[in-house]
Structure 1
Amino acid sequence: MRSYRWMEMGRGWLAYRTVEGVPGAVGEPPMVLLHGGGGDGTTWDALAPTFAQRRTVYLPDLRGMGRSDRVGPYSLTVLRDDLLALLDRWQLDRVVLVGHSLGGVATLLATQLAPQRVAALVLEECPPPVPLGFTIPTGLPDSAPYYDREIRPFVLAELNAPDPARWEALAAIPVPTLVLAGGPTSHLPQEAMAEMTARIPAGRLVTLPTGHHIHPNAPDAFRTAVESFLTDSAA
């Protein structure tokens, strides 16, 4: 994988890496893999080379996490806008967006705002836009060195009281969408995730009962589900 590069975001910088598609591979839309809260792009390292056999893969670190700068304000729409700004920086017109958890929310909101830029959407254990009742902690343990402690209260408050328009907007998503659910050991409401999928016109739900962290817990099953979906949707 290439070393880190950075994109300026006002008072700070967003870090990202790329994995070039294998020479001679069938050209497909580039893929952006967006990690969950408290993580960074390295969570995809075991999967990125396989996905890159058919396309170029981009691995950003969300604002305030990984090697990106700790620069507020933090909100779900800010993370969405960062993602769209990265697409501009990379000069990508049409991509496959794959997001885990908080990264899934960012990819979902980006798709709702700019659907013409998304060939297909994969949401891994993405919190549905319904009140979730999360406990909002006052801080994080010292074991989270790559996480700005200011992020969590803001994003959890938004997830607990989402704008109702976001639920209504699901019905207008025009792109093929795969929702990967982690099953009964996940902390997210699986029934609401199924209802979210049903509202998306081209939504498909697949449950891989590994809990919230599907791609690190079951990378082969995750890859198979994603590649089968992309093949079926011709994305």
Structure 2
Amino acid sequence: MFDLYYRQQGIQGNPPVVLLHGLFGSLENLGAVAKVLAEDFSVYSVDLRNHGRSPHHEMMNYELMANDVIRFMDSLNLTEAVLLGHSMGGKVAMEVALQAPDRVSGLIVADIAPVRYPPHHHQVFAGLQGLALSAITSRAQADKELAAYINEASVRSFLLKNLVKTSASGFQWRMNLSAIAKHYEHIMAGQSSESSYDKPVLFIKGGSSDYILPRHQDAILSLFPAAGVKIIQNAGHWLHAEKPALFNRIVSQFLRSILIAQ
């Protein structure tokens, strides 16, 4: 059985919300919104396959990751839930909604569209795969070596959260870096379906991000005809971390609107 690692917050029995993180991330990435939502909802923060503390598998694509989430919901007897996903997690959430619309009562997609994106993590993979883990003695050393490939200290810090100590002088990746790199083209893929998901959907875009663009509108509406969009100005792709109060308020308002409609 492929059991995803998860953390539950809030009162069980309240309406369930499942949170799905992005590429190279883990459930901790959406911790701020999870804490806020736990006041009114039963919140399940999930590590997707090959990420965080969830199992590793040599195969990785959106159909498989969506099936993982559906099996996770089955294991907890969650017949239906709202899904909130950021970036890659948003694509997983969209895939679940398209595969099993009866299991998804609403959908929140943070700064991603159901389209294929051009590969753009080459330097990230080069830096991560270039680290000789057997020779790394500290996170500071790893950060210094990674800086030759990645200028932004915040990005390096995010990536190095995946680096875990195994002994007094050893490190390893918590994520399955080889599988992620091998199936990177699948991760960049878009969503498709012969039928649409007609329930409430909210896309939240970072105003300074180029992950959701006007040219993506047709693809979004063809799959999610009831979709609306909110833009968080002066925020980039990591909008939930850059503008947490506003992001959390938008999410909470949307969830309340779903409950009122029901």
- TM tier, shorter chain? 0.7 to 0.9
Give the TM-score, by structure 1 length.
Answer: 0.81
Aligned with residue 213 of structure 2, among 174, 185, 190: 190
Q: Does structure 1 residue 156 correspond to structure 2 residue 184?
A: yes
Counterpart Cα distance in 2 of 1:77 and 1:192: 25
Note the aligned Cα RMSD (angstroms): 2.3
Kept in 1, the 8 Å contact 2:88–2:187? The answer is no
Q: What residue number does 1:232 align with?
A: 257
Q: Does structure 1 residue 104 correspond to structure 2 residue 90?
A: yes
Counterpart Cα distance in 2 of 1:161 and 1:104: 12
Aligned with residue 134 of structure 1, among 78, 96, 119: 119
Q: Does structure 1 residue 20 correspond to structure 2 residue 10?
A: yes
Which whole-Å deviations, capped at 9, do the CAs of 1:14-44 have from their partners, x for residues lacking one?
211101328xxxx652000111111100112
Residue 84 of structure 1 and its aligned partner are, at CA, apart by: 0.6
Residue 197 of structure 1 and its aligned partner are, at CA, apart by: 3.8
Quick one: percent identity of the two aligned structures?
26
Structure 1: gaps of 5 or more residues: 1-7
SS of alignment partner, residue 73 of structure 2: helix
Q: What residue number does 1:69 align with?
A: 55
Q: What amino acid does structure 2 have at the position aligned with 1:191?
A: P
Q: What amino acid does structure 1 have at the position aligned with 2:198?
A: P
SS of alignment partner, residue 98 of structure 1: strand
Q: 1:32 to 1:50 in 2, by over 3 A?
A: same
Q: What amino acid does structure 2 have at the position aligned with 1:56?
A: S
Q: What residue number does 2:80 align with?
A: 94
SS of alignment partner, residue 46 of structure 1: helix
Residue 196 of structure 1 and its aligned partner are, at CA, apart by: 3.8
SS of alignment partner, residue 74 of structure 1: coil
Q: What amino acid does structure 2 have at the position aligned with 1:58?
A: Y
Counterpart Cα distance in 2 of 1:220 and 1:91: 31
Residue 159 of structure 1 and its aligned partner are, at CA, apart by: 5.1
Aligned with residue 230 of structure 2, among 185, 206, 209: 206
Residue 188 of structure 1 and its aligned partner are, at CA, apart by: 1.7
Q: 1:18 to 1:160 in 2, by over 3 A?
A: closer
Q: What residue number does 1:5 align with?
A: none
Structure 2: gaps of 5 or more residues: 132-159, 164-173
Kept in 1, the 8 Å contact 2:114–2:190? The answer is no
More helix by share: 2
In our comparison, the structure showing a higher alpha carbon Rg is 2
Residue 162 of structure 1 and its aligned partner are, at CA, apart by: 4.1
Counterpart Cα distance in 2 of 1:49 and 1:124: 17
Q: What amino acid does structure 2 have at the position aligned with 1:134?
A: P
Residue 150 of structure 1 and its aligned partner are, at CA, apart by: 2.5
Which whole-Å deviations, capped at 9, do the CAs of 1:66-102 have from their partners, x for residues lacking one?
1112222111111111111100011001101000011
SS of alignment partner, residue 177 of structure 2: coil
Residue 156 of structure 1 and its aligned partner are, at CA, apart by: 3.4
Counterpart Cα distance in 1 of 2:177 and 2:254: 36
Kept in 2, the 8 Å contact 1:136–1:156? The answer is no
